Amino acid sequence: MTSIDEIRRPVAEEFQLFQRAFEEVLKTDNALLSDVLSLILARRGKQLRPLLVLLSAKLCHGVTDKTIDTAVALELLHTATLIHDDVVDGSNMRRGLPSVNAHWNNKIAVLVGDYMLSKVVKLLAEVRNVKILSIVSEMGRALSDGELLQLHSRDDMWISEKDYFRIIEHKTARLFAACTEAGSVSSGASVRQQTALSCFGEELGICFQMQDDILDYSDSEELGKPTMGDIRDGKVTLPLIIALQRASKSETARIIQLTQKNIDFAIENEIKSFVLRYDGIRQQRMREHQQIALGALEAFHPNNITDALGMLLTYATNRVC
């Protein structure tokens, strides 16, 4: 299994610059805010999004100051949306640590998310690049649309595959695409390079979210974190959609009935084995998106950066956590 460190290697120095800039932007005099931001820093994830910004810039004409600012802005935007998402979903944990709403309260979570969003706009204003601003603002709108679409279809057991892909495209893939596209723009890439990287980012994002949704149906102990969160939140994802398509009318009716109850451990297990029985976890669709992503990379001469992006794609589709 490829490690994130291996993928980061070609931009190791630039990634350190990003991390310092990210820590810098989270410094504040406000004591309460400072506490919250320390928690945010402590539970940093793999920071794939800024990594994508850096790799994309380096693949074109190299990482610039604008690249670092763009990477910080996009990681901040992602963090702000996670904080607001935890309010929306009423989640108590995030990456093994308490969520902001759980550790403090909803009020503080809303304000801290807004504070970060205001920093995002300020950073983008400082980047002074119309194209980057327009990429990020268009993506912000898509992200917001995706969240509302998902909220609207919550508890709806009959969402179609088409709706599912529309949601993940808006809520995940567009952000990945914005990272790769804005990263390339920040390095002065050609339109052809921008388009290829935007396509790669979008397809990578779709694979990443599909795998995320598959992992939610995996063995919780093996995964090392709770599973079946989506169905408890009333979110129907592709594995269940596929299984419901394949099951008999009577079995479908029974599963739908189950999901209308308070979902306890027994119901969770029943839904999980239903999905496995009907082979809802088939990765065929994901492999198709993976192929399109690899195709997009062919616009570039193979080198250590295209290798790293390829490894990232493999990581996204094969990861087990």
Q: Which of 66, 78, 94, 119 binds a copy of itself (CB under 8 A)?
A: 119
Per the structure block, which two tokens stand in for 3?
Answer: 């490690």
Per the structure block, which two tokens stand in for 126?
Answer: 């400082």
88 binds a copy of itself (CB under 8 A): yes
Triad 38, 113, 81: Cα angle to 5° = 105
66 binds a copy of itself (CB under 8 A): no
197 neighbors 56 (Cβ within 8 angstroms): yes
27 binds a copy of itself (CB under 8 A): no
Question: In terms of CB distance, is 71 or 77 closer to a copy of itself?
Answer: 77
> Which residue blocks in the chain are alpha helix, DSSP H?
4-8, 12-25, 31-42, 48-59, 65-89, 100-103, 106-127, 130-152, 161-168, 174-186, 191-215, 220-223, 229-232, 238-246, 249-259, 265-277, 284-297, 304-318
Question: In terms of CB distance, is 168 or 293 closer to a copy of itself?
Answer: 168
39 binds a copy of itself (CB under 8 A): no
Nearest Cα residue to 54 out of 182, 173, 204 = 182
CB of 225 to a copy of itself, least distance (A): 23
Per the structure block, which two tokens stand in for 132?
Answer: 């980057």
144 binds a copy of itself (CB under 8 A): yes
Tokens 């790293």 correspond to 308
145 binds a copy of itself (CB under 8 A): yes
177 neighbors 139 (Cβ within 8 angstroms): yes
Q: Which of 67, 70, 79, 81 binds a copy of itself (CB under 8 A)?
A: 81
CB of 144 to a copy of itself, least distance (A): 4
CB of 309 to a copy of itself, least distance (A): 27
Per the structure block, which two tokens stand in for 178?
Answer: 């914005």
Q: Which of 20, 46, 152, 246 binds a copy of itself (CB under 8 A)?
A: 152
User: Helix (H, G, I), strand (E, B), or coil: what is residue 104?
Assistant: coil
Question: In terms of CB distance, is 87 or 313 closer to a copy of itself?
Answer: 87
Stretch of 17-25, 58-66, 88-96, 211-219 contacting a copy of itself, by CB under 8 A = 88-96
300 binds a copy of itself (CB under 8 A): no
**Interface with a copy of itself (CB under 8 A):** 30-33, 81, 84, 87-90, 106-108, 110-115, 117-119, 121-122, 124-126, 128, 130, 133-134, 136-138, 140-141, 143-145, 147-149, 151-152
